[in-house]
Structure formats: C-alpha cells, structure tokens
Amino acid sequence: MSEWCRSLWAALALLLACGISTQAGAQAGADVYVATVPVAEQSNAELHRAAAAGLREVVVRVSGQSEAVRAPALANALGDAERYLDQYRFERNISAEPGALPWLAQLRFGPNAVAQLLRGAGLPVWAGNRPVLLVWLVQDDGNGRRFVDEQAPLATALREQARRRGLTLRFPKDFSALTLDDAWQMDAAKLRSGAAAGGEVALLGRIAQGAGGRCTGAWKLAATNAGNEQPALQGEGDNAASYLAQSIDRIADALAQQYATVATATAGATLRVDGIENFNDYIALLAYLKQVGAIKAANPTQIAGSTVILQLRLEGGAEQLARQLTLDNRLLLEQGGDAPSAVLNYRWQAARG
C-alpha cells in the first residue's frame, strides 16, 4: 500500500471516529436555498410575509418547475413558511430606488426541510451540481446583428433572471467558433465542430427588438460534445425584461426535466473511481459527490492504489446519476476495464485552475 493510501485510511478513520458523515446529497449548492425579499420594517408580520414569498421562490428554484407553487400539497407550507427557515436577518436596502422598501429580509431555508417538502408533494428536487450554461446569443436591435458579450446590458439582465432560477451563465470570450449567421440559426452542430468546450451545456439564442421595445426570439439547449439537443423554445414579450423572464423560466424547466431527481425507492450501486492520486483528490471527490442530487449516500469501502470504491445509495436510479455526472465532466465514464459489469466505472478529473 502506498504512503498516501495509509495516510488516507488513517484520516478516514479519524473522520469516522469524530462522527463526521460522508452522506452525499444532504446539502447541495446552498445558494439555491437563499432568497432576498424587500420588507417595510423589521417585524414579525413582515417576516411572515417575506418567508412566504421567499419559500415560493425557493420551491420553484429547487424543484425546477415554474408552476410548482400551484401544487395543492404545498398550500399549508406556504402559509407557515417560517418553520422551513434555517436562518434570517434584516439588512438596510442601501440600493433602494425612490419608493422602494427600506429593508431586506435575507432568508435561508433548510435544504433537508425543503427537499422533504417537495418530495412529499410529489415534486422533483434539483439541487447540487447544475450546468454552467455557455450562452451564444445574437441580438438584432434594428441596426444589425451582433453577439452579446458578458459586458452587454442584455447579458446583465439575463444573468439576473438566471440567478432567480438558480442557473449560472457565462459568455464566450472568443466568438470564432460560430459565425453570426450560424449563431442566429442556432446551429449546434457547427458549434460542436468548432468549439473545444468539453461537456458544457450550450445555450444558443437570438433576440430581435422591434418598435416600442417588443422582443421576439428563440433558444436552444445543446451539449457541446454530444448530438442530443432540445427543440427550439420560441417566445415573445412586450419588452426585454418580460421576454427574458419567461425565456429563463422555460429554459430552467427544460433543464430540470433532464437533471432533477424524482423521488423513487432508493437503490444501491457500486462506484469505482480511478485517478485518485492523492489525499486532496479523495477529499475533492467526496465533496463533489455531496453535490450530486441522485446520490443520497456515498460510503468508501476500499482503496487500492489510485482506485477508490464506494457504495452508493441512489434516488432516481443509475440512469439519472449518469445524466447528472455529465454536467461537469469531473467523473468520466470508462468503458470496459477490469471492473465487473455491475460496477459503475469512472475516472476522476482533477479540477483545472
């Protein structure tokens, strides 16, 4: 056994002795459970109102469904939203415009409580590892077409709408992989052939702004390293704000259909991970598995050389797990090898700076 393996087992034994759990999935991406609600004053009545509004936002964000708050099973919870709070505080609304409420209620809801609430209502849970969307957007404002870069006002507005639904966007620094015409046509095949964007989910879009600010456009989701893609989402709005809001809602709903975990009977699986070269890799692997929504628990059972074997408890099954692991390419599926066919065989990709 190598020196790092001996050190690893010693550290793992210490963690277990101290009662530190290696449960996965119990607390994913904390930001999706946070809401900020303007309030008139620091009072119980305003906290009650803010908690209800904040829980509505979190329910939509974590379920991945725009209409989740309409579920009858959530009615009582939304009327008693404070019970789902982990913590809250009031802050001065220093950026308030004239007429805006002077205080902000900063709310954080409990991940386990929210997940239990959603599953009890028959809704999916989409927390943890979410794709960073690479946005190829072309804007036509009547004076010609141009790419929208990360400094553009439209990009700022789009990012704010994406934040509301728990999505992260980034814009290309180099647009050479697509021509303006190809991007306007949302040609995902051209993007795949011209971009080295291994495994990212691309969001291709076009928006045309007409007289009076009215907007029409379309969006398409596509993985940059695979042939599967979603049908185009057509839309329109009276102005850019309303168009972007409904666009992001439809995009988030479509992504959740692929990656949100629907409550099912839990199942077991064996995960073999190669490429764990040191203790830091091992700790990073465990931290990563905590973010994968389909994994309810991940318990290491064996370490041999650069290979770690874990017993998983899954919700949603192995197919759901495979979809979620494609989001960021931290674990790459290995075909064949000497692992038994019943074992999920992956290779760890250390984070690149």
Phi, psi for residue 27 in degrees, rounded to 5: -140, 100
Residue keyed to tokens 């009031």: 90
**pTM of the entire predicted model:** 0.74
Q: In the CATH hierarchy, which fold is given to the domain comprising 132-259?
A: Double Stranded RNA Binding Domain (3.30.160)
CB 59 within 8 A of CB 81: no
Rounded Cα gap, residues 224 and 246, in angstroms:
24
pLDDT given for residue 82 in this prediction: 97
pLDDT given for residue 162 in this prediction: 95
Q: CA end-to-end span of the chain, whole Å?
A: 30
Token pair of 183 as six digits: 């991007």
Please give the full DSSP string across 320-353, using - where no structure is assigned. Answer: HHHHHHTTT-SEEE--SSSS-TTEEEEEE-PPP-
Query: Residue 63, SS3?
Result: helix
pLDDT by residue for the chain (353 residues), tens digit each?
Answer: 455 555 555 555 444 444 334 343 333 344 899 999 999 999 999 999 999 999 999 999 999 999 999 999 999 999 999 999 999 999 999 987 888 999 999 999 999 899 899 989 989 998 767 888 999 999 998 889 999 999 999 999 999 999 999 999 999 999 998 999 999 999 988 887 765 445 568 999 999 998 888 999 999 998 755 556 678 899 999 999 999 999 999 999 999 988 888 766 567 888 999 999 988 889 989 888 887 877 888 889 888 889 999 988 887 677 778 878 877 778 888 865 555 557 889 999 876 54
CB 187 within 8 A of CB 229: no
pLDDT given for residue 30 in this prediction: 43
pLDDT given for residue 334 in this prediction: 86
Radius of gyration for the alpha carbons in the chain, expressed in angstroms and rounded: 22
Token pair of 221 as six digits: 């989701």
pLDDT given for residue 199 in this prediction: 52
Please give the full DSSP string across 99-145, using - where no structure is assigned. Answer: TS-SEEEEEEE-HHHHHHHHHHTT--B--B--PEEEEEEEEE-SS-E
pLDDT given for residue 226 in this prediction: 56
